[in-house]
Structure 1
């Protein structure tokens, strides 16, 4: 079964709303993403120097990685994904999809 990750860089809609952005992302958005068939886990990371975007890495475990990302797009377009006003949209977050080509260890 193909495995992959989706990598997304995001920033809060405004610096003064950063705490709300993190709360929404961690408490609501990650669960919304993982509710999509084929997306099995989600992790977020902050830059160690405090500068630049935050990143999220979503692990996919399904036969068709592109279809899983398509389902995620459908969820976003449906209006059922709440809280997107917490994200900066300039530049707009762009998910990058990667398929696994090798591994070592656990």
Structure 2
């Protein structure tokens, strides 16, 4: 019996960056996984909470998105994260995947 339809099952050697930093309001620890999957968007994982998301430069400018995904209380903290992600997330063109 086939219980599910497999969409993909890929292995890939990826670059991962682990970054910890502080701002005036908080401490952050992130893993950023640079992959060719997911339309070229890096996978960003908060190592403190386990929350993760795919981010591209457009997503970084959406402060509400950052606040929701990482459950950040203040706009100032979201702005701090956006500033960090602008330097950490490459500006790669959209890639066709499917």
Normalized per residue, the structure richer in helix is 1
- Which structure is richer in relative contact order (CA contacts within 8 A, separation 6 or more)? 1
Question: What TM-score, normalized to structure 2?
Answer: 0.30
Rg larger in 1 or in 2? 2
TM-score by length of 1: 0.28
